[in-house]
């Protein structure tokens, strides 16, 4: 899986500009599914099986990014964020625009060195001498640029959120030889700007139940408090996050399956943030949902870290969930 993860995280596709990553994923899954299609919002939908319960699994393809708002007379680029871009993570960072232009994020001088400047005090230096020769325009988009690093059991890259979820979904689809259900693996668009792709695709699919595959936070580095999820302890089964309460029947189904398969897992209560499951939960008459989370350090920075064993065990858990009949009870 490592080469797949490197390929996915190395592809530049901020929210709304998922064409490149969709092409990469489509090439991986076309021979694995019974049907593959793209809907009007750009979601990539792969169906496996026919009949039984209709299950939707969502992993978002997009990543956080930047968009040009202004180019000054000296060729310096002002920008705004696409998704959860945090100013303290940006200074000195390198970005690459969808058109291939590289740049480095600079800061205006601050009154105090310890100040965290706002985005409007930052700029991107693309090496241009003036506005006329600047290779980017208003509205152009960029994403972080940082090489994939294999640290053994720990993997580091930009856009692990949520290309690692996409990798897990691809490998689960590959390993799922048969299922009594009608399973829809959906690689969604525009999650980082409001779980938009999951909402439209879930409306079209109208599933009986579903879950997202996404990263979650971490509580195992110095100074982290009141969050018990850590790297290397297994995938996390989400009970709550900042936008969604998992259906207790889904949580119990996931835990029961993990324990029966002797797979490590963690119970997750996340106070902030949410996933595609929130959007799925609210379509049509409502959908029972949950989430399989991949613990990830340094979320929404250019260097997000996951544990390879957590990733592989997430694949095993999802396959175990989908290959057997499901009875959630009343």
Which domains, from first to last, does the chain contain?
2-63+158-322 (3.40.630.10), 65-144 (2.40.30.40)
- Are β-strands 94-97 and 141-144 bridged in parallel, bridged antiparallel, or unpaired? antiparallel
Q: What is the pLDDT of residue 318?
A: 98
Dihedral pair phi/psi, residue 219, rounded to 5° = -135, 20
Does the pTM exceed 0.85? yes
Which parts of the chain have pLDDT scores under 70? 330
Residue (of 168, 279, 146) closest to 215 by Cα position: 168
Q: What is the pLDDT of residue 228?
A: 87
Q: What is the pLDDT of residue 109?
A: 87
Q: Which residues are catalytic?
A: 191
CA dist 63 → 18, 107, 192 (Å): 9, 23, 7
């Amino acid at each position: 899986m490592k080469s797949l993860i490197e390929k996915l995280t190395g592809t530049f596709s901020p929210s709304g500009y998922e064409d490149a990553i969709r092409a990469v994923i489509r090439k991986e899954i076309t021979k694995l599914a019974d049907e593959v299609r793209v809907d009007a919002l750009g979601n990539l939908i792969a169906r496996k099986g026919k009949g039984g319960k209709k299950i939707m699994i969502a992993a978002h393809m997009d990543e956080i990014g930047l968009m040009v708002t202004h180019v000054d007379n000296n060729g310096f680029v002002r920008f705004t964020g696409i998704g959860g871009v945090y100013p303290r993570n940006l200074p000195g960072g390198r970005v690459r625009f969808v058109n291939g232009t590289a740049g480095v994020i600079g800061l205006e001088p601050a009154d105090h060195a310890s100040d965290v400047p706002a985005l409007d005090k930052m700029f991107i230096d693309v090496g241009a001498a003036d506005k006329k020769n600047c290779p980017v325009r208003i509205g152009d988009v960029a994403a972080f640029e940082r090489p994939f690093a294999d640290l053994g059991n720990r993997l580091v890259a930009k856009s692990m959120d949520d290309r690692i979820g996409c990798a897990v979904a691809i490998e689960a689809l590959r390993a799922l030889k048969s299922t009594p259900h009608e399973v829809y693996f959906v690689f969604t668009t525009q999650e980082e700007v409001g779980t938009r792709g999951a909402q439209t695709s879930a409306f079209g699919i109208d599933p009986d139940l579903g879950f997202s595959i996404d990263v979650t936070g971490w509580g195992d580095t110095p100074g982290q408090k009141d969050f018990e999820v850590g790297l290397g302890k297994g995938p996390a089964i989400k009970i709550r996050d900042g936008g969604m309460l998992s259906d207790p029947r889904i949580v119990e189904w996931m835990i029961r399956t993990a324990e029966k398969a002797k797979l490590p897992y963690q119970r997750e209560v996340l106070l902030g943030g949410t996933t595609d499951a929130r959007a799925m939960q609210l379509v049509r008459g409502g959908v029972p949902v949950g989430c399989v989370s991949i613990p990830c350090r340094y979320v929404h920075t250019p260097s997000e870290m996951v544990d390879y064993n957590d990733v592989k065990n997430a694949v095993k858990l999802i396959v175990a969930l989908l290959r057997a009949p499901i009875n959630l009870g009343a």
